[in-house]
A and B are shown apart, each in its own frame.
Chain A
Amino acid sequence: DQQVKQNSPSLSVQEGRISILNCDYTNSMFDYFLWYKKYPAEGPTFLISISSIKDKNEDGRFTVFLNKSAKHLSLHIVPSQPGDSAVYFCAATPAQKLVFGQGTRLTINP
C-alpha cells in the first residue's frame, strides 16, 4: 500500500509564478516530513523538511505546509525559476527509513 502519495505526476508553471506541489500520507505514525529534488542521472537532494509539531517551515523561496488533520503537506516555490525544473519527491519517516511518494515532475516555462 502506498503510504505517501503524490497524485500529480507532472506540473507546468510559468517562470516567476508560484509552484505548489502536494502530498498526502496515510500513516499517523509519521512525525517528520521532507521534500527532495531530483535531476536526471543524479541522486535526490534534500530541499526542506518539517516536523509534525509545526505547520509551516520556510527557507528562502521554499515553504512547506503541513496539515496533520488532513494528512496533507504541500511545497510552495515562489517565485519559480527555470532551475527549479526537476522531479520532486515528498518523503515521511517515523524513525529511520524514508518512505517516498511517486514524485511530481515540475517544469518551469520561460
Chain B
Amino acid sequence: GAGVSQTPSNKVTEKGKYVELRCDPISGHTALYWYRQSLGQGPEFLIYFQGTGAADDSGLPNDRFFAVRPEGSVSTLKIQRTERGDSAVYLCASSRVGGGHNEQFFGPGTRLTVL
C-alpha cells in the first residue's frame, strides 16, 4: 500500500514569506506527527495529532509555526514570516494508533530552504 507522502519535496522561499507543507498519512492511521531535522541532527518533535486534534504541540518552536488536520487525515504545517533558521527537512510520520510504542511510518520529508 501507499506510504506517507509529503509535498512539496523541496521548497525554496525568501525570508519573511509564508509556507505550507502538506502531509498525506497512511490511510486509516489515526495518529500523525511532525518532526524537523536540521543538518547533522536527528529528527526533533514538533507536534502530534490524534484524529483532528493536536494532542501535543509542545515541540513547536514559536507562534510562527502552526499545524492543522481538519478531517483527521491530511495535515498541513504552516510557517509564517519564515527565517533562515527555519531551513531544515520537515518530516511527517503516521501510526495506526497514537503512542510512541506504535511504529511510526515516516514520509520522505520536505526540504525547506529559506534564503
**Residues in chain A within 8 A of chain B (CB atoms):** 4, 6, 9, 32, 36, 41-46, 49, 51, 89, 91, 93-103
Contact = CB atoms under 8 A, between A and B. Distances in A.
A97 B93 contact: no
B99 A96 contact: yes
B100 A43 contact: no
A44, A91, A96, A101 pick with most chain B CB within 10 angstroms: A96
Given A43-B93, A45-B106, A102-B40, A93 B101 contact: yes
Contacts of A94: 100
Given A32-B101, A43-B4, A96-B100, A102 B33 contact: no
Contacts of B4: 43
A102 B108 contact: no
A97 B59 contact: yes
15 contacts: A4-B42, A6-B42, A32-B101, A43-B93, A43-B107, A45-B106, A46-B104, A89-B42, A89-B43, A93-B101, A94-B100, A95-B100, A98-B43, A98-B104, A100-B42
B35, B42, B107 pick with most chain A CB within 10 angstroms: B42
